[in-house]
Structure formats: structure tokens, C-alpha cells
Amino acid sequence: MRRFTIVGLVVALIALAGCGGTATPPPSAAAPASAVATLAPSPSAAASPSAAASESPAAAGTPVLVDPFTSAGAAIDVDDAAHAADPSKYVTAIPSTSTSVQIVFALKPGTVGRVTMNLTSGGTAVMSPLSIDYGTINSWGHFKIDSSNGFSPGVYVATLTFEPTGAAIQVAFTSS
């Protein structure tokens, strides 16, 4: 069984609307919101038929975005200092030897609320859900999933839910 260390991060960035320079965030906004857990895959999680059906290799690709999500994808490399999510970094496949993958997302400007991520493989939860409180100072966020032994081959689906409305999207990637 592989063990996963999960770090949920929201990059606290200031939207520089109309500014040509940089802004210094207040001390309370300088640190990213985060959640940390070390978990083993849960063999007892029940697989839903719709989750199993969506977890085919063809499911890995561009997610269908719903309001308030404006961008989402899996990435191997993320620049925490970036002012926005970078869709050019999104991937649909990672090598099984990768020790990290990040689930990146952005919400419409001004959106506030909790975003929860559930990660499954083969319709079975591989970790407990993680949540991030997304604030007006955030321009994007990401959940970092670390596995010191790499990722077992298969299809992984991260379901991101914007809790205030229940809007959900799925980000799928394969490991081989």
C-alpha cells in the first residue's frame, strides 16, 4: 500500500487590478492557507457507479468547468509565486515514479468560500477529503499530493467542490 502526504495550499496573492507594481499583503494574508495529512489509501471506501465510469483513461483531460470555477487541472510543477493559475502547466498523465502532483484551480474574481477536494482511483477514495478556505485575496489555489513511493498506475480523479453552491468539477489524470 502506498502512503500519501497531502498538503492543501491556497496561494495568497493580491489581484493587482490596474496596478503596474506590486502590493504587500497584510500580515494575515501573507501566509497561504494549508491543510496537511499523511494517509493510506482507504480500501473500505464504496465506489459509486458514476465515479467508476468516469475513471477511464479517456476521462483524463480538460475538465468541464462550472461556475464559479474558471480554471482547473493537474500539474507536476507549480510556481507558488505566480499571480494566476497556469493552464500551460496542466497535464493529463504523470509517470508512476512522480512523487508529487498538484490539483490546481481558480475561481471567479471576488468569490469567497470553501473548496473541498476528494481524490479517488478506480472509484475508491485514496485519501480523506481536504478543504481550503478561498478568499477574495486569492487568485488561484492548489492541493499538493505527495507520495514518496510514486503513484500506482491507474486513473485518478480529483473532485473539487465549491461548498457554498455545491458546484463540482472533476480533474482526471493517469499514472503509468
pLDDT digits (tens, 9 = 90+) for 129-176: 999 999 888 889 999 998 888 889 999 999 999 999 999 999 999 998
**Does 36 score more than 60 pLDDT?**
no
Q: Work out the pLDDT band at 18, boundaries 50, 70, 90.
A: very low
User: For 28, how many CA atoms within 13 A lie in the half-sphere containing its CB?
Assistant: 3
The CA distance from 142 to 10, in Å, is 6
Which pLDDT score, from 0 to 100, does residue 83 have?
87
Given phi > 0 = left and psi -120 to 50 = alpha, else beta, which region is 110? Answer: left
Q: Work out the pLDDT band at 2, boundaries 50, 70, 90.
A: very low
Per-residue model confidence as pLDDT tens digits over 54-106: 444 345 667 899 999 999 999 998 888 888 899 999 999 999 899 999 999 99
How many other C-beta atoms are found inside a 10 Å radius of the C-beta of residue 64? 9
The CA distance from 149 to 15, in Å, is 37
Burial class, 148, CB count within 10 angstroms (exposed 0-12 / middle 13-18 / buried 19+): exposed
Contact (CB, 8 A) for 117 and 129:
yes
Which pLDDT score, from 0 to 100, does residue 61 have?
67
The CA distance from 42 to 122, in Å, is 12
